[in-house]
Structures are given as C-alpha cells and as structure tokens.
Structure 1
Amino acid sequence: MTDEKRNDAGEPAASDILGAALGGAARRAGLDPAQSGSTGHIVWHAMGGWRGILESVLPTLVFVITWTVTVDPHSHQGNLWLAVGLSVGLAVVFTLVRLIARSPASAAIGGLVATAAAAALALWTGRAAANFVLGLITNGAYGSVLLVSALIGWPLIGLAVGWLMNDGTAWRADKRKRRAFFWLTIAWAALFAARLAVELPLFLADQVTALGTFKLIMGLPLFAPMVAVTWLAVRGLYPKSAEPVSESSSLDGE
C-alpha cells in the first residue's frame, strides 16, 4: 500500500477502507473483473442462480398474490396476516434449506431478516403497503449515496473496482477510467432513483398490488442488465492480464 493511500498516522485512508468493503462484497457476489467468465455466467452468478432468484422474488410475489386474491370488494382490504405469514414462511424455508444443505446462507438470512422486518412494519401499521417501506428507504439511500459519491469525484464503482484490480485510487489520474466510473455510478444511482420515482407514488396512494408488481418488475429484470453493462465496461478498462488484489492484502480479513 503506497504512502499516499495512508493518513499521517500510517492508517489506511478512508477510500481504502471503503474500497475494500465494496470490493469484498462484489467479490463475494461473484463480481471480480480479474476473473474469467462469460458475461452471462457472471450475471447469473451475481443473481445467485435459480435459488437466488427464487429467494429474491417468491416472498414478494406470494405476498402480492395473497393480498390481491383476498381483497374484499367492499373494504378494499386483503388478508394482511395471511399475506405476511406466507411471505415470511417462504423466507424461513429458504434459509432452512441452505442451512441443512450447508451452503452459504448469508443472502438467505439477510432476506429473511428483511422480509420479517417488512412484515412486522406492515402488521404494526395495519397497512399492507408498509411491507414495502424498507425497500423504498433502501432505494433512496443507495441512490443518494451513489449520486453524491460521483458528484464529489469519488464514485463508489471506481473505489470497488480499484480495490479488486489492485489499482487503488490510481484510476482517478486516468481520465478514461474516471469518466467511465463516474457514469457507471450515475447509472446505478439512476436505477435506484427510477425505482423510487415509480414506487413512492403507489405507496402514498396505497396501491398495494401495483406497488408489489412494479417492485418485482424493477428488481432483477433491471438489476441483471446493469450488472452486465458494468461488467463489460470494467473488463474493457482493464486487460485480462491485470493482477487482482491478493487475498493477504484484503482489508476485510478474507
């Protein structure tokens, strides 16, 4: 690690730590530009394969279908307890299957926690639309952080890729890389902003079925092409011979 990447006390700079955290997360998701593999394979791996897709989609899909088919034509309310019960139940099943199979369960556990928290919020407020509040907050937070990082000249995509490719923050001196990482980060921020722009009015109008439907439509179907574009752009910026950061230099202990 170069001196310019450390502060006066010899500790890693904030950009180093953040880059390591983001890069480590990308690597665990299978998004390491230094590794070989077709774009389709990388995107599929990033989504978690069939299991990951089912874990991501089914709880929300079951919630939406259950709520919709149980809506009373007079009160315009569905069976909230049944909807959240089936949704959380599915998340529990997915987590147990991974634990029994001794496969990595962090994504399933994270999904279970998020599903349970959303269900608890919906039950506490008595509003089915509240089941999607955490997703709205997440989209707003991610979009804002990505946008700000690009505007101040430290796009998060660049920090993650710099760590993965053992490039540190040297990419900031390369106009081509800096421009590419700026626009990639802006594109990801725009994705989260678009989700929020579509889903927030539906939430405020209490349009549960439409809200859940658009959440699914703007989820993996938009995530997959964004991963593909990012992957292709990064591979175009770095030759295949580029050396990835060694495991021993990882700041997250992996």
Structure 2
Amino acid sequence: MSDDDARRDDAATPLTPPAPEEPSASRVLGEALGQAARRAGMDPSDEATTGKVVWKAIGGARGIVESVLPLMVFLISLALWPEQLAVAVVASIGAAAIFTVARLIQRQPPSAALGGLIAVGVAGALVLFTGRAEDNFIPGFITNVAYGSAFLISALVGWSLIGLAVGFLMDDGIAWRADKRKRRAFFWLAIMWAALFFLRLGVQLPMWFADVDVQTLGTVKLVMGIPLFAPLVAVTWLVVRATYPRMSS
C-alpha cells in the first residue's frame, strides 16, 4: 500500500473519541459526602465563623425544633395518656409532618424535614406493631450502629469519610491520603464521629434492655443529640481549617 493510500484510509476512518473515564468509587462517595456537607453549611472553602457554621449545620432554631419536637410531643402525649399509644404516635408524626409541609409551602428543600418525618413514621409504626412505647427508640439504635460503623471502618481502612468529603470540597480529591498530617487528622475525626454514635448506643441501649421508663430514655436521647453533635461539628470545622490554612488567608 502506498503512502497516499494509507493517508486516504486514515482520512476515511472516523476518529473515535476516547471513552470517558469511569468515576472511581472514592470520587463518587466523596462528591456525595461533600455535597451533603455543603448543604449542611459545612463547606470549609467558605469564609465563616465557627459559630455560624455550627448554627447552620444544626439548621438554626428551626432545625433544633424539627429535631426535638416530635420526640417531645411523643413523650408528653404518653405522660398525659399513658395507655393511648396511637395518640402519641399520631401526635409525633403530625408534628414532623407540619415541618415538611411548611418547607414545601415555602419552596424550601424539604430533605431534612422529610427525613425526620420518615424516621418518626417508621418508629411510630414499630410502636403500634409491638404495642411497646419503648420500641420507638429502636430505629435510632440502628442508625447509631450504621453511622458509627461507617465512620469507624472508613478510618481503619484509611479512607476516612471526613477526608473524602473535605477532599471534594477543597478540590483535593484523594491527594490528602498522601499527606501524613491530613491523613492523621481525618483518621481521628472519623474516630471521634464513630465514638459519638457508639457512645449514644452504649448509654441508651442498656437502658432500653433494662426497661428504663420511656420518659427517662427519651430525655437521655435528647441530651445526647444536638448538645453532643454541635461541639463535634465545631471541632471538625476547626481541625479542617487548621489542615487547610490557605483557605483562611
């Protein structure tokens, strides 16, 4: 074949664009975690004070009410009508539903309130199925196991969930894994978050097995909710800012 023939064949052959690179699992997970953190107001690339970050992460006054009111309504209803489980369940679901409807009316993202509504609905259905008010706490136990295990395993295998989220938010990808300082910081942050969830489980589950009254168990759950979550958000924020000092310059 002559050179002219070869050139004609090359010209006639359509150029095939390279196949797009498949996103790695770490990148996909990092993007998901990073976007969730950004929606929660925990984007370390933003200029914000620690107090503002914590306040936004817990959803402000509205987020606090959305978090605690359904359980408080459940506990108050049980105190007033101890034998009327259905009343307590309906009241707590109704309280959660109000927030979801309000967000829809105001055209705000309903994800947080909707997630709370689903959780309250599942807990309520379990209470009605078993006839035991204390079973309202079982979904919370399962959630603590799931989140605590996820953070712990991610730390132990060297793929801290905190690191994946921050790497995406700071356009660092997974480069943080090659930096001993960052890797150590994200390891301990993941361990601290795992400890939070397992601490809740370690305190509340024995109380549940010991048949501690629902009012006491509910109060302990409230105390170990936002009052423990908020300080850990602050610690996480401060450590990340120290790890990426350029973002505060």
**Which TM-score applies when normalising by structure 1?**
0.87
Match of 2:165 in 1: 160
- Alignment check: 8 A CA contact 2:44 2:247 kept: no
- Is 2:57 the partner of 1:52? no
Instruction: Name the Cα RMSD after superposition.
Output: 1.7
CA distance in structure 2 between the partners assigned to 1:241 and 1:183 by the alignment: 21
Question: In the aligned structure 2, how far is the partner of 1:110 from the partner of 1:240?
Answer: 35
Pairwise mapping of residues 75-114 of structure 1 onto structure 2 (< 5 A)? 78-114=83-119
- Match among 130, 137, 142 for residue 137 of structure 1: 142
Identity over the aligned pairs, expressed in percent?
62
Q: CA deviation at 1:241?
A: 3.8
C-alpha separation in 2, matches of 1:21 and 1:100: 27
Unaligned 5+ segments in structure 1 are 1-7, 72-77, 243-254
Counterpart of 2:221 in structure 1: which amino acid? K
> Which residue number in structure 1 is paired with residue 33 of structure 2?
22
Please point out which of 62, 71, 80 is paired with 2:73: 62
Rg bigger for which structure?
A: 2
* Shift in Å, 1:150: 0.5
Distance 1:163 1:131 in 2: 36
Give the whole-Å Cα distance in 1 for the aligned partners of 2:168 and 2:26.
10
Asked if the contact 1:34/1:240 (under 8 Å) is kept, the reply is no
Aligned length: 230
Identify the match of residue 193 of structure 2 among 188, 193, 202: 188
CA displacement, residues 10-36 of structure 1 (integer Å, 9 cap, x when unaligned):
311111111111111101111100001
TM-score using structure 2 length: 0.88
| Letter in structure 2 aligned against 1:219 | G
Provide Cα deviations, 1:103-138, integer angstroms capped at 9, x if missing partner. Answer: 221111111111111100110111111111111000
Report the residue type matching 1:220 in the other structure. Answer: I
**Which one-letter code corresponds to 1:70 in the other structure?**
W
Counterpart Cα distance in 2 of 1:240 and 1:213:
42
